[in-house]
Amino acid sequence: SRFKSFSEKAQKMKAEHDDLLDSYHSLKTVCDKATNTLLSSIPNLDKSLDLASLCRVVAESFEKLDATSGQIQDQKEHLKQRLEELESSSKKYQTDKDKKQKELDQLTSQVKDLSRANQAHENKLAKLKSLLRRATNNLEENKQKLKESKKSYEKAHKSLAQLGLQLQNGWYAPG
């Protein structure tokens, strides 16, 4: 039973050892890939450098990347601020556009109302012109009738004056 227990412990330790080896190889693969990626990202890198020189080159590259990252962050902040300004300007423009559209709609409505009122006034004016023409025609007819009446009056007055003369003379002969 002791042997069995020892054998189980040994197998368990062997399995843990194998798991650790697998983890080590996985980590080494990841580290190798990361190192290769890092080294390939540094242009003109001398592959024959010792570890200390390589670390210095990598550190310098990180400093450059950090500085570039800072510049990019500054540019990002500037672009973000510019975007906010443009959004604000766009909202202001949209608000102004909406106000102008509302004003245009109101003016269009007023123009339509004035156009209808103008049409009504033009209709009234046309009726008044028609009435004025009829009144002018009636006035001309009345003028003509007045002339004829005046002639008739003058004729009758002349006849009456003749009749008066004849009556004064004592002689009347209807003619």
Instruction: Look up residue 129 and give its amino acid.
Output: K
Query: Considering all CA atoms of the chain, what is the largest pairwise distance in Å, rounded to the nearest integer?
Result: 191
Residue 2 is predicted with a pLDDT of: 59
Whether the pLDDT of residue 175 is over 60: the answer is: no
Average confidence (pLDDT) over 53-75: 83
- Radius of gyration of the chain, Cα coordinates, nearest whole angstrom: 60
Q: Determine which of 98-107, 112-121, 160-169 has the lowest per-residue pLDDT on average.
A: 160-169
The mean pLDDT value of the chain amounts to: 87
In whole angstroms, give the CA distance from residue 70 to residue 78: 12
pLDDT tier at 174 (50, 70, 90 boundaries)? low
Q: Which of the two residues, 61 and 68, has the higher pLDDT score?
A: 68
Label residues 108-143 b or e (16+ Cβ within 10 Å = b). eeeeeeeeeeeeeeeeeeeeeeeeeeeeeeeeeeee
Instruction: List helix spans (H) across the chain.
Output: 2-40, 51-169
Residue 54 is predicted with a pLDDT of: 73
Residue 56 is predicted with a pLDDT of: 80
Average confidence (pLDDT) over 96-121: 96
